[in-house]
Amino acid sequence: MINWGAFLLVALVSLVSAGALVTIYASGLRLLAVDGRPRAAVVGAYACFTVCALGVLFGIYLIVPALHAS
Amino acid sequence: MDLTLIVVLVILLAVFFDFTNGFHDTANAMATPIATGAMRPRVAVTVAALLNLVGAFLSTEVAKTISGGIIREGPGGVEITPTMIFAGLIGAVIWNMITWLRGLPSSSSHALFGGLIGAALVGAGTNSVDFGVVLSKVVLPALLAPLVAGLVGFLATRLAYRITRRPVGKNQRGGFRVGQIFTSSLVALAHGTNDAQKTMGVITLALIAGGFLGSGANPPFWVILVCALAIALGTYTGGWRIIQTMGGGLTDIKATQGFSAEASTAATVLASSHLGFALSTTQVSSGSIIGAGLGRRGSTIQWGTAGKIVIAWFITLPAAGLVGAACELIARIGVVGLVIDAVLGAGVIVGIFVASRRKPHEQSNALEVDVAMNSVLTRSERRSLLKKRGDELLAERRRMSDESSLFELGAEEEVR
C-alpha cells in the first residue's frame, strides 16, 4: 500500500545530498577561518563555494520542469 | 446561470485559497533567515514573493486530478461537481485561516484534500473516497516527513558544527547567513512551482465542468497570471504569526542551524518530488527546524509548541473535511444554499481577520505597532525610524545568536 522503497530512496537521497551540501559549505567556511588565511586555504574555500553554487543550480534545474522535459 | 454562478464563486474562492496558501507557507522558506538576521523580514518576504511569482509561471503542468486519487474521480468513479469543489475550498480556506490565527504551520494541500473529501462524502457517498489512499498519501507521510527531515536536519547541523569548529580562537560561522539566502530561495522557488499549480488545476477543472473549456484543456493564460499574482501577494503579506512560530517558537535558531535546516528542507522536498514519494513542504520544514534544534548542544526545543503543530497536522484533514461537508449539505439546497455558503464563509473569514486585529497575538505585537505608527508619522520620519529599529533588531539578533557577523569574514565574502 505504501511504497517503502520509494520512501527509503527519498530518505537516503535527502540525507546524502543535504549532508554533502552542508559538509562542503562548512568546509569552505572553515578554510576561510584558517589562521593567517594562507592562499591555498582561500582558493580551497572558494572551490567549495563554487561546488555549492553548482549544487544550487542543480536544484533549480530540478525545480524548473522546462529544463528536464521528459 | 446557475452553473455560471458556481464557477464564478469557485474561481473567486480558489484565488483566495491561493492567497492564504501564499501567506501560510512563507514561513517554510523564510522563517529561518528572518530569525537569524540573514535577511530583513521585508526583504525576505519580497524575495519569497518574487520567487513564487516566477515559480508559478515556470510550471503549468496541471495535475490530472484535483485530489491525486484520494477521491475516486473520473471515468467509472464519481464526478466532482463544481459545488463540491466550492464546499471543499471553503473548508480549506477556513482551516487555513484558523491555523494562521493560532500561528500553526499546517499543510495547505492537506486542508484542500480534507475539504474535498468532506464535500465528496456528503455529495457522493462514502464510496467516493478511497481511504487506503488517504492513509498512504496523507496520514503516513505526515508521520514520516518530519521524521526524515528531522533526522536529515539533525545530522546536517551536527556536521556543520563539527566541521566549522576551531580548536583555538573564535569559531567563525557568520558565513552561514550568506548560504541561508540561497537555500531558502530554493525552497521558495520550489513552493511557487508546486502550490500555484494546484489552484490553477482547481480553476481549470471548474471551468471544464462548467463547459467553458473543452475537457483536457490547458489553463488559459489569465488563470496562470491570476494564480501567480495571488500566491505572490499572499507570500508578500507574510504570515508573520507562522514565521514567528517557525523562526523562534520551536527553538532559537542560529545561522548554522538555519543553513542546515533549510538545506535539509530543500534536499528533502526536491528528492520527494522527483523520486515519487510526495511529502508536505510544511511538515518537512518544521521537521528540519526541530532536527536542527536538536543538533546544537545547549539548545532547547519547545516541545509544547511542537506538539501543538503535530496535533494541527492530524486535525487538518478531518477539520477541513467537516467544514467542507457542512457547506456541501447547505449547498445542496440549490442556489440559495450556495449564497448562504458564500455569505457564511465570508463572515467567518472576516471574523477571523477581525479577531487577529483586535486581540493581537503577543508575537505579532511589533507588526501592530508598525501599522499604528504609519498613521501618525510622515513618510521620511517613518523611514528613518524603521531603519533605526531594523538596525537595532539586527544587532540584537546577531548578539543573541553569538555567531560572528558576516562582516568579520572579510570583504571578499560579502561580495559573494
Q: pLDDT per residue over B6-35, tens digit each?
A: 888 889 999 999 999 988 888 888 888 888
- Nearest CB neighbour to B276, from listed A6, A11, A14: A6
Please compute the mean of the pLDDT values over residues A48-61 and round it to a whole number.
Answer: 92
A18–B267 C-beta distance less than 8 A = yes
SS3 B71: strand
> Which residues form the domain of A58?
17-68
Backbone angles phi, psi at B133, to 5 degrees: -70, -35
| Shortest CA distance from A53: residue in chain B | B182
How far apart are the C-alpha atoms of B152 and B303, rounded to whole Å? 19
Q: Which pLDDT tens digit goes with each residue over B102-158? A: 888 888 888 988 998 898 888 888 778 888 888 887 888 888 889 999 999 999 999
* Chain A residues with beta carbon closer than 8 angstroms to that of B151: 11, 15
Split into its structural domains, chain A has a count of 1
For chain B, the domains span 2-363
Long-range contact pairs involving B336-339 (C-beta distance under 8 Å, separation at least 24): B338/B5, B338/B6, B338/B9, B338/B83, B338/B86
| The pLDDT value given to residue A55 | 92
Task: Return the amino acid letter for B162.
Answer: R
* Chain B residues with beta carbon closer than 8 angstroms to that of A58: none
What is the pLDDT confidence band of residue B191, given thresholds at 50, 70 and 90?
A: confident
Name every residue whose Cβ is closer than 8 Å to that of residue A34 and which is 6 or more positions away in sequence. A41
Residue A1 lies in a domain: no
Q: Output the DSSP codes for B116-140.
A: HHHHHHHHH-GGGB-HHHHIIIIIH
A–B interface: beta-carbon pairs under 8 A:
132
How far apart are the C-alpha atoms of B87 and B109, rounded to whole Å? 15
| The pLDDT value given to residue B19 | 93
With 0-12 / 13-18 / 19 or more C-beta atoms within 10 angstroms meaning exposed / middle / buried, residue B102 is middle
A9–B270 C-beta distance less than 8 A = no
Instruction: Choose between B208 and B223: higher pLDDT.
Output: B223
| Shortest CA distance from A9: residue in chain B | B275
The highest-confidence range among A24-28, B327-331, B332-336, by mean pLDDT, is A24-28
| Shortest CA distance from A57: residue in chain B | B186
A27–B277 C-beta distance less than 8 A = no
| Beta bridge mates, B71 | B129
What is the pLDDT confidence band of residue B261, given thresholds at 50, 70 and 90?
A: very high
Q: ipTM value, please give it.
A: 0.92
* Chain A residues with beta carbon closer than 8 angstroms to that of B144: 7
The owner of cell 536536519 is B153
| The pLDDT value given to residue B362 | 44
The highest-confidence range among A16-20, B113-117, B172-176, by mean pLDDT, is A16-20
Residue A61 lies in a domain: yes
Backbone angles phi, psi at B131, to 5 degrees: -70, -25
How far apart are the C-alpha atoms of B118 and B350, rounded to whole Å? 23
How far apart are the C-alpha atoms of B175 and B255, rounded to whole Å? 8
Tell me the CB-side half-sphere exposure of residue A18, using CA atoms within 13 A: 38
Q: Please give the model's pTM, rounded to 2 decimal places.
A: 0.81
A26–B163 C-beta distance less than 8 A = yes
- Say what percent of chain B tops pLDDT 70: 84
Name every residue whose Cβ is closer than 8 Å to that of residue B65 and which is 6 or more positions away in sequence. B71, B73, B74
Task: Return the amino acid letter for B11.
Answer: I
What the block records as the C-alpha cell of A10 is: 527519498
| The pLDDT value given to residue B67 | 61
* Chain A residues with beta carbon closer than 8 angstroms to that of B169: 33, 35
What is the pLDDT confidence band of residue B75, given thresholds at 50, 70 and 90?
A: low
Flag whether residue A21 sits within 8 Å of chain B, measured between CB atoms: yes
| The pLDDT value given to residue B158 | 93
First to last CA, chain B: 58
The highest-confidence range among B221-230, B249-258, B370-379, by mean pLDDT, is B221-230
How far apart are the C-alpha atoms of A49 and B416, rounded to whole Å? 9
